[in-house]
Amino acid sequence: MEERRTILRTKNLKAYYSFKAFGIDRNIKALDDVTFDIYEKEIFGIAGESGCGKSTLMKVLYGLIKSPLRHIGGDAIYKINGNERSIFSFDKETLRKLRWSFMSYIPQGSMNILNPTVRIKKQFLNIIKAHKDVVNVDEAEDIAVEHIKSLGLPLEVLRSYPHQLSGGMRQRVTIALATVLKPRIIFGDEPTTALDVVVQRGVIQLLKDIQKELNNTVIMVTHDMAVHAELTDRIGIMYAGKMVEIASTREIFKEPLHPYTQYLINSLPKIGDKSEKVSVPGAPPSLANPPSGCRFHPRCPYAKQICKEQEPTFEELKPGHFVACFIATKRGVENG
Partner 1 sequence: MDKNKLIEVKDLNKTFIIGGRFFGSKLVAVNKANLVMQQGKPEIFTLAGESGSGKTTLARMILGIIEPTSGHIYYKGKDVTRLRGKKEREWFKKEVQPIFQNPFEAFNPLKRVETYLFETALNFGIAKNKNEASDIVDEALKSVGLSLSEVYQRYPHELSGGQVQRTCIARALITRPSLLIADEPVSMVDASLRMSILNFFHKLKTDYGVSIIYITHDLATAYYVSDRIAIMYRGYIVELGPIEKVLTNPLHPYTQLLLDSIPKPDPDRRWNKRIKLADIEVKEYMALGCKFANRCKYATERCFKEEPYDVEIDGRKVKCFLYSDKEVSTTL
Shortest distance, position 249 Cβ to partner 1, whole Å? 5
SS3 29: strand
Q: What is the DSSP pairing of strand 242-248 with strand 234-239? A: antiparallel
Nearer to partner 1, 135 or 283 (CB): 283
d(CA 19, CA 68): 7
Q: In the set 138, 198, 333, 336, which binds partner 1 (CB under 8 A)?
A: 198
Round to whole Å and give the CA distance between 162 and 174. 10
Instruction: Return all residues near 126 (Cβ < 8 A) that are at least 6 apart.
Output: 118
Distance CA 207, CA 261 (A): 25
The CB-of-252 to partner 1 minimum distance in angstroms stands at: 8
- Kindly tell me which residue out of 63, 107, 188, 202 binds partner 1, with binding defined by CB under 8 A: 202
Of the candidate spans 92-100, 122-130, 195-203, 313-321, the one that interacts with partner 1 by CB under 8 A turns out to be 195-203
Number of residues forming the site for partner 1 (CB under 8 A): 44
Q: Are strands 217-221 and 69-80 parallel, antiparallel or unpaired?
A: unpaired
Nearer to partner 1, 13 or 173 (CB): 173
Q: How many residues does the chain have?
A: 336
What's the min distance (Å) between Cβ of 248 and partner 1? 9
Q: Of residues 36-55, which lie at the interface with partner 1 (CB under 8 A)?
A: 49-50
Residue 99 has, within 13 A of its CA and on its CB side, a CA count of 16
CB of 302 to partner 1, least distance (A): 16
Residues 294 and 240: their CA atoms lie apart, in Å, by 10
Instruction: Closer to partner 1 by CB, 90 or 253: give it.
Output: 253
CB 280, min distance to partner 1, A:
4
**DSSP three-state, residue 88:** helix
Helix axes 137-150, 120-131, angle to 10 degrees: 110
The residue among 227, 249, 216, 230 whose CA lies nearest residue 320 is 249
Could you say which of 169, 176, 243, 324 contacts partner 1 (CB under 8 A)?
A: 169
Minimum CB distance to partner 1, residue 309 (Å)? 24
Q: Whole-angstrom Cα distance, residue 60 to residue 76?
A: 8
Cβ neighbour number for residue 3 with a 10 Å cutoff: 5
Instruction: Name which position in 118, 130, 155, 226 contacts partner 1 (CB under 8 A).
Output: 226
Residues 250-279: x where in contact with partner 1 by CB under 8 A, - otherwise, as a string: x--x------x--xxx-xxxxxx-x-xxxx
Our finding on whether 167 is near partner 1 (CB under 8 A) is yes
Dihedral of the alpha carbons of 138, 144, 147, 152, in degrees to the nearest 10: -110
What mask of x and - would describe binding to partner 1 in positions 278 to 317, judged by CB under 8 A? xxx--xx---------------------------------
Q: Which of 223, 262, 291, 298 binds partner 1 (CB under 8 A)?
A: 223
Residues that bind partner 1 (CB under 8 A): 49-50, 154, 166-169, 196-202, 204-205, 223-227, 229-230, 249-250, 253, 260, 263-265, 267-272, 274, 276-280, 283-284
